[in-house]
Structure 1
Amino acid sequence: MESYSRYLIPEVLSKLKGMELKARLVVEGFLIGLHKSPYKGFSVEFAEHRPYMPGDEIRKIDWKIYAKTDRFYVKEYEEETNLKAYLILDASASMAYRSDRMDKLEYGRYLAASLAYLLLKQKDSVGLCVFDTKVRRYIPPRSAAHHIHNLLKELDDVNPGGETDLSSTFHELAEKMRRRGLIIIISDLLDDPEKVVRGLKHFRHKKHEVLVFHILDPWEVDFPYEEPAMFRDMESNEKLVVDPESLRSKYKRRIESFLDYYKSQCRDSLIDYVNLNTSTTFDRALFSYLMKRKKLG
């Protein structure tokens, strides 16, 4: 069994069978969410071959393959009118922080894998972008079922490192992703909030639907340290010796303001914002969000 298969937990996949993640804001011609084109002659892109099954249209049989193998295969196509979803994963050094079992990047990997599985199950196209100061890895969106293996392998190969430049990365991607889609950002958002929000709004300006999963460790939020200690910035390597007791109240006010800013700015821009804490299992957090989204319609 491939090492990356650990990201698809059978119990989680079983629960996902009854879940959906439909686009609410993206409208590309006649597409809303999972709806396919009702028009004949729409643009398609070849995806893969699969064995012929009773009920398949004869015109889809690839006769060249039949001549070589004496077996019937049909051509599968991806409709270019399908929803394109992009998983954008922050792999900067700060994502490696953890106070307990799982660091933020690993949490993000599991979350991204489950979202990819869910979207592919819906026949939507899913792509992956991994970044720190710039885009490091990119897999274009595909809707073929086997594409999940490409995504999982890429997620498994990701190593945290480097500083963060969320704003520049978001602006770059917003310009490159010309066709409207669902942008799913998985990050701790530890960068200048005003610049980050401008980057998020750039996606909205390009008519993308945007979903932000903001992942933090509980110790980053609660600051439960008691003894004087030296703190090191995981990205700049800057060190600072402080007495946590004297800073706790001010720190917690700052982190609360930090979170409130993202929440309010995203709400005002019709961006779905989900604050996640690694003390809550990723599947529980994901199911809670999907149920809430379903109720809101």
Structure 2
Amino acid sequence: MSTVESYLKPEVIRQISRLDLRAQFVVRGFFQGLHASPYHGFSVEFSEHRRYEQGDDPKDIDWLVFAKTDRYYIKKFEAETNITGYIAMDLSKSMGYTYRQEMTKFDYAISLAAAICYLMIHQQDPVGLVTFDTKIRQSLPPKSKRKHLGDVLSLLTNLKPTGETDIAHSLSQLAAMLKHRSVVMIFSDLLSDPDEVFKALYQLRHRQHDVILFHILDEAEVTFPFDGMVELEDPESNEVLKLDAGSYRSDYRKEVEAFRERYRRDASKAGVDYVELDTSMPFDKALTEYLINRRTRF
């Protein structure tokens, strides 16, 4: 896979385009209906409600709030706005792993990121790109022009997962770098200390950014399909572990589930959207299902 077209094939563009009219609300819900988001509605921001007072226009009453509270509240509109998105791509060597899938974790992340870029720019929302391993390596500022899509995808297709990783440090750098409220979409296998990762995620949330954490594992990392004596090598440290796969499988699966559950639980506490994926799910199906789930939840 060495060209933009290999990641954003015509049939994928057509499939995502079919979301356009029917799923504009789905896409809006995905990017705007996030936990504690300042963005409510499609292009209008209202950051607070206030009690209805005599003289207010009854047309401004939020009847959904009334239905829940039995009190009259006015939506306080501030300004027309677009959503600014940042894609943060993990370049760590472990992202290059695959066992029997066509795509590595990195290929999978690139494909999903390309689709999201397409959707955002299609609705004229600016999107930028940041790459990281032990620190931020490259960045493209967010833009919404059609030409920018080509720039982002060109950079994505030339990336290689080769380094060690320090997710927490990189995300702390990103938090310090961003000057305006944004939707930060992180693509990583998260093979790092969750305590440190969440310290950095809280920095992003403290600065009022919405955060979507795409946790991407290879199918084999989830199911552990190996048999007999195997050698497992850490791609970043090159440490090798020899073991009997059959006797280890049950314990391994429990550990992976506990690892994911930790991220589910702590992401919920932090107000971070946690998207649990493995490479056996077609990336366009993963995107579509998640967009639909976002729409139905808000």
Instruction: Return the TM-score normalized by structure 1.
Output: 0.81
Of structures 1 and 2, the one with the larger relative CO (CA 8 A, separation 6+) is 2
The answer to whether the Cα contact below 8 Å between 1:34 and 1:124 also exists between their aligned partners in 2 is: no
The answer to whether the Cα contact below 8 Å between 1:213 and 1:275 also exists between their aligned partners in 2 is: yes
The answer to whether the Cα contact below 8 Å between 1:5 and 1:152 also exists between their aligned partners in 2 is: no
Structure 2 Cα separation of the partners of residues 152 and 14 of structure 1: 17
Give the C-alpha shift of residue 32 in structure 1.
4.1
Q: Which residue of 2 aligns with 1:132?
A: 133
Secondary structure of 2:146's counterpart equals coil
Structure 2 Cα separation of the partners of residues 86 and 141 of structure 1: 7
Q: Which residue of 2 aligns with 1:292?
A: 293
**How many matched pairs?**
253
Secondary structure of 2:141's counterpart equals strand
1:3 and 2:3 equivalent? yes
Q: Which runs of 5+ in 2 are unaligned?
A: 46-78
Deviation sequence 1:235-263 (CA, Å, 0-9, x none): 11111211222322221111110000001
Deviation sequence 1:92-144 (CA, Å, 0-9, x none): 00000001211000001100000000000111110001111111111110111
Structure 1 Cα separation of the partners of residues 195 and 263 of structure 2: 9
Q: Which residue of 2 aligns with 1:237?
A: 238
Structure 2 Cα separation of the partners of residues 96 and 199 of structure 1: 24
Secondary structure of 2:129's counterpart equals strand
Q: Which residue of 1 aligns with 2:151?
A: 150
Secondary structure of 1:174's counterpart equals helix
Give the C-alpha shift of residue 9 in structure 1.
2.2
Give the C-alpha shift of residue 80 in structure 1.
10
Percent pairwise identity: 38
1:181 and 2:190 equivalent? no
Structure 2 Cα separation of the partners of residues 147 and 138 of structure 1: 13
The answer to whether the Cα contact below 8 Å between 1:222 and 1:252 also exists between their aligned partners in 2 is: yes
Secondary structure of 1:123's counterpart equals coil
Structure 2 Cα separation of the partners of residues 22 and 86 of structure 1: 11
Give the C-alpha shift of residue 91 in structure 1.
1.3
The answer to whether the Cα contact below 8 Å between 2:90 and 2:133 also exists between their aligned partners in 1 is: yes
Instruction: Return the TM-score normalized by structure 2.
Output: 0.80
Q: Which residue of 1 aligns with 2:31?
A: 22
Q: Which amino acid aligns with 1:97?
A: Y
Give the C-alpha shift of residue 36 in structure 1.
5.8
